[in-house]
Amino acid sequence: MNVADSELVASILNKNDFTIVDNIDDAEIIIFNTCSVRQHAEDRVLGRISNEISRKNSNTQLKIGVIGCMAQRLGNKLQKQNEKIDFVVGTDQYKKLPEIIMYLFENPGFRSDTIINNKEIYEDIFPIHTGKLNAFITIMRGCNNFCSYCIVPYVRGRERSRDVEDIINDVHKTGKQGFKDVTLLGQNVNSYNYQGIDFAELLRRVNKVETIKRIRFVTSHPKDLSDEVIEVMANSEKICEHLHLAMQSGDDEILRSMNRGYKADHFNNIVQKLRRAVPDIAITSDVIAGFPGETQAQFKRTYDLMKKIEFDYAFTFKYSPREGTKAAKFNDHIPEETRLDRLQQLINLQQDITLKKYKDQIGKVKEIYVEKLSKRSNEELAGKSRDFKITVFKGDKSLIGTFVNVRITDAVGWTLKGKEV
Could you tell me the domains of the chain? 2-113 (3.40.50.12160), 134-359 (3.80.30.20), 365-420 (2.40.50.140)
Cα separation, 199 vs 209, whole angstroms: 16
Going by C-alpha positions, the residue among 224, 231, 210 that lies closest to residue 140 is 224
- 185: Cβ contacts below 8 Å, ≥ 6 apart: 1, 4, 136, 137, 138, 139, 217, 218
What is the predicted pLDDT for the residue at 256? Answer: 98
Q: Is 41 helix (H, G, I), strand (E, B) or coil?
A: helix
Residue 376: per-residue pLDDT:
87
Output the pTM of the full model.
Answer: 0.94
pLDDT, mean of each 10-residue run, the chain (421 residues): 95 96 94 92 92 88 96 94 94 97 94 96 92 93 97 95 97 96 97 98 98 97 97 98 98 98 98 97 98 98 98 96 95 97 98 96 98 93 97 97 98 94 95
For the range 395-403, what are the long-range contacts, defined as Cβ-Cβ under 8 Å and sequence gap of 24 or more? 395/370, 395/420, 397/373, 399/370, 400/133, 400/370, 400/371, 400/372, 400/373, 401/132, 401/133, 401/178, 401/180, 401/370, 401/371, 402/370, 403/180, 403/213, 403/367, 403/368, 403/369, 403/370
CA 138 from centre of chain? 11
Mention every residue, 6+ apart, whose C-beta is less than 8 A from residue 394: 379, 380, 381, 419, 420
| Nearest-angstrom CA–CA distance, 374 and 393 | 8
Q: Where are the alpha helices (DSSP H) in 278-411?
A: 296-309, 336-359
| Cis status, amide bond into 402, omega within 30 of 0 | no
pLDDT at 132: 81
Q: Is 195 helix (H, G, I), strand (E, B) or coil?
A: coil
pLDDT of residue 367: 98
Q: Are 302 and 249 in contact (CB under 8 A)?
A: yes
CA 410 to CA 209: how far, in whole Å?
A: 35
Helices (H), 52-108: 53-58, 69-74, 77-81, 97-106
**Which of 121, 112, 118, 132 shows the shortest CA–CA distance to 8?**
121
Q: Residue 384: what residue type?
A: K
CB 272 within 8 A of CB 283: no
User: Given this model, what pLDDT does residue 359 score?
Assistant: 97
Check residue 131 and give its pLDDT. Answer: 83
> 75: left (phi > 0), else alpha (psi -120 to 50), else beta?
left
Transcribe 130-172 into DSSP letters.
Answer: -SSSEEEEE-EE------TT--HHHHH-S-EEPPHHHHHHHHH
